[in-house]
Amino acid sequence: MSFAPALHAEWIKIRTLRSLPAALAAMVVVTAAFSALGAADADDSDRLFSAFFGINFGQVAAVAFGTTAVSAEFRGGALRLTLSAVPDRRRWFAAKATAIALPALAAGLLTGCVTLLAGRAVLGASAPGWAEGLRGAVGCGLHLTLMALFAAGLATVLRSGVATLSVLVPFLLIVSFVIGDLSAGVADYLPDRAGQVALHSSWEGTLGPWSGLAVSALWAAAALLAGGWSLARRDA
């Protein structure tokens, strides 16, 4: 099977597995809702991040989306059936990653736009300008996409959705903040913290908005490469 039919087959899986559209919807709702709540009680120190505060929670939904899309293949022998149709494992994995990235990017950009509008409505006169807000919205979409891909790569290595979420959810909600409090220089290069630089009005350290997203992209690429390597060398 060539790449295009493989991608179409993976898109059908994404569309028909109910938990996956639900995760994408949660990404939009959770990010916008928590951003609005955070903006209502925010100061003026970083007006852009005040509008996008909910990304801290929305990225968990992105991780759940990427994890579930891959881990479903490791239940009930589904991967063996998939590879019987697409014997080239690298081609299948590329199709799977693309089928994850495209809807994640679309939902991520929608999340960025909705969150920006909600944040501006709540912040009022202290809201970020449209140019700055647009950078935040695009950065939000890219960051959520990269987190979904990072989770997909790790899920391919671990072959378990439970194990992947057990690692990533505490890391995103607890460990990353602890490391940030102890050593900001190290935390700047973590996949979640690096990508969020694009959501700040100003930043300190060596990473800027786009270099921070590049660091997150490197983490996602490394996870996908590790996943592809694991997939090629282990039994289905």
pLDDT, mean of residues 3-21: 92
3-class DSSP assignment, residue 41: coil
pLDDT band at 44, cuts 50/70/90?
low
Whose structure tokens read 């449209």?
130
Rounded Cα gap, residues 153 and 163, in angstroms? 13
Return the closest-CA partner of residue 149 out of 109, 190, 198, 102. 102
Are 155 and 42 spatial neighbours (Cβ–Cβ below 8 Å)? no
Can you read off the two tokens belonging to residue 145?
């996409």
Return the closest-CA partner of residue 71 out of 235, 219, 225, 227. 227
Q: What pLDDT, on the 0 to 100 scale, is given for residue 122?
A: 87
Q: What pLDDT, on the 0 to 100 scale, is given for residue 75?
A: 85
Quick one: what percent of the chain has pLDDT higher than 70?
Answer: 94
pTM over the 0.85 mark: yes
Can you read off the two tokens belonging to residue 104?
């994640």
Are 52 and 90 spatial neighbours (Cβ–Cβ below 8 Å)? no
Q: What is the DSSP letter of 129?
A: P
